[in-house]
Amino acid sequence: MMTIGHSTLTIEAFLGALRENGVSTLVDVRRFPGSRRYPQFGQVRLFASLEAAGIRAVWREGLGGRRKALADSVNVGWHHEAFRGYADYMQTDHFRNEIEWLMALADFERAVVMCAEAVPWRCHRSLIGDAVLARGGVVEDIFVQPDGRSSRRPHAMTKFARVDDGRVWYPGDGELFEG
């Protein structure tokens, strides 16, 4: 499985990167899949462009970001509330079902998870990558230059993440060394 962010790319550069990396299926994990600033990445236009390029497109709202952090969050290692909220959501059965679906897809398709941010560490797709790694999957992050040239790097588990039986959480500093 791979991850990618559309960022400010042209649709031609984006499609070129997908082709260069052999993508057969794109999984849109934007909870609100529109873009006023970059209309080529609004879901209707994007999916039409992907279809014309021979790439299957699927929207999975259940993998989307913009989740609210819980008052009693165990993921206090994330100081940014959006990441903490997504990490809290990762503890739910709904998220586990979505990750299982994604991993099953990746067994049969050359799949890429797409969101908006150019780099994974500024996007919830880095947490999706952590969840896949925690379950024994392989994840590569695609980095795309404005001209469409791309490179891939193995996804690295977030440094302060903890894994137990495939479940990922992100404790705060004081919790890292407790029993």
Query: What are the sequence ranges of the domains in the chain?
Result: 2-175
In this prediction the pTM is: 0.93
CA-nearest of 45, 72, 47, 51 to 59 is 47
Q: Residue-wise pLDDT tens for the chain (179 aa)? A: 999 999 999 999 999 999 999 999 999 999 888 888 889 999 999 999 999 999 999 999 999 999 999 999 999 999 999 999 999 999 999 999 999 999 999 999 999 999 999 999 999 999 999 999 999 999 999 999 888 789 999 999 999 999 999 999 999 864 444 43
Backbone phi, then psi, for 3, in 5-degree steps?
-130, 155
CATH topology classification for 2-175: Protein-Tyrosine Phosphatase; Chain A (3.90.190)
Q: How far apart are CA 131 and CA 126, in angstroms?
A: 9
**Residue 143 half-sphere exposure toward CB, CA atoms < 13 A:** 9
Q: Which strand (E) or helix (H) includes residue 101?
A: helix 93-108
β 111-115/140-144 pair status: unpaired
DSSP string, 118-173: SSGGGSTHHHHHHHHHHTT---EEEEE-TTS-EEEEEPPPPTT-EEETTEEE---G
Handedness of CA 113, 32, 5, 84 (dihedral sign): negative
Distance CA 3, CA 139 (A): 7
